[in-house]
Amino acid sequence: MVASNFATAGIPVAKASDQQMGATAVSDALDKLKHSAEDVAGKAKEKAGDAKGDEKLEAEGKNDQTEAKVKKTGDDVKDIFKS
């Protein structure tokens, strides 16, 4: 096999599992970024509701923040089990 020839010559060879792990890391990073953005959007919605006196909008903002925090906690749990 060609790959084994490279490996015996001391040339690093990327395996399919290495590529999958890289793709997973990128996906996980994007998820974390998305969840942080959702938290920030929730804070903005809460502040807008507070400024306008719109209790429903303020409550939606708080709810969005809670959902984002739950997702962030899920990300943290995933990270713990990857180690």
Question: How many CA atoms are closer than 13 Å to the CA of 11, on its beta-carbon side?
Answer: 7
Place of tokens 């400024």: 51
Nearest Cα residue to 45 out of 31, 32, 59 = 59
Residues with Cβ within 8 Å of residue 32, at least 6 apart in sequence: 72, 75
Q: How confident is the model at residue 76 (pLDDT cuts 50, 70, 90)?
A: very high
Per-residue pLDDT of 23-51, as tens digits, reads: 788 999 999 999 999 999 999 999 999 99
- Look up the pTM and report it: 0.69
pLDDT of residue 20: 59
